[in-house]
Amino acid sequence: MRRAIVALALTVAAAACGHKGKGAPANVTGTPPYDCRAHEVAAGKQLAQIADANLSCQADADCQNVALGSICSDNCTRAVNHAGVAALAGADTAGTACAGYQAAHCTLIHPPCAPPQPATCVNGACQ
């Protein structure tokens, strides 16, 4: 009887300890855990590419500062042309680079951003 009690106690203690392996365990489906930082970087790159493709201008009036951020990235502000304003507003980072960000309970840490300077057109590019 004493052996049975000791065996039961060891079984309960082992079950209570759980798995203490290295790193975050895979989820139920066996896929790696959600990488918040990787999604922040991907969204930032996606928005930067859109901004970079929309810099052309002929005059200061062609340029406007816009927030370069989404639910999972914050790259402060950038000067882009009017087409860039529309392209950034229509960017679907929530459905692509940021997919799953909020569901994974990620927290975006906003960087300190200097106040933007007036957007200007210099040598045919918004700055």
pLDDT, one tens digit per residue, over 11-31 is: 333 333 333 323 334 455 666
The 8-class DSSP code of residue 57 comes to: -
The answer to whether residue 62 sits within a structural domain is yes
Q: Is residue 72 one of the residues assigned to a domain?
A: yes
Q: What percent of the chain has pLDDT over 90?
A: 59
DSSP state of 61: G
pLDDT at 122 over 80: yes
Residue 60 lies in a domain: yes
Question: What residues make up the domain containing 55?
Answer: 34-111+118-127
List, for residues 60-97, the tens digit of each pLDDT value: 999 999 999 999 999 999 999 999 999 998 887 777 88
Residue 101 reports pLDDT greater than 70: yes
Alpha helices (runs of H) in 25-121, residue ranges in sequence order: 36-52, 82-89
Domains of the chain: total:
1
Q: What is the pLDDT of residue 125?
A: 98
- Within a domain: 83: yes
Q: Is residue 39 part of a domain?
A: yes
Specify if 16 maps to a domain: no
Angle CA 27–73–28, to nearest 5: 5
Query: Quick check: is 44 in a domain?
Result: yes
Identify which of 18-32, 48-62, 94-108 has the greatest average pLDDT.
Answer: 48-62
Q: Is 19 inside a domain boundary?
A: no
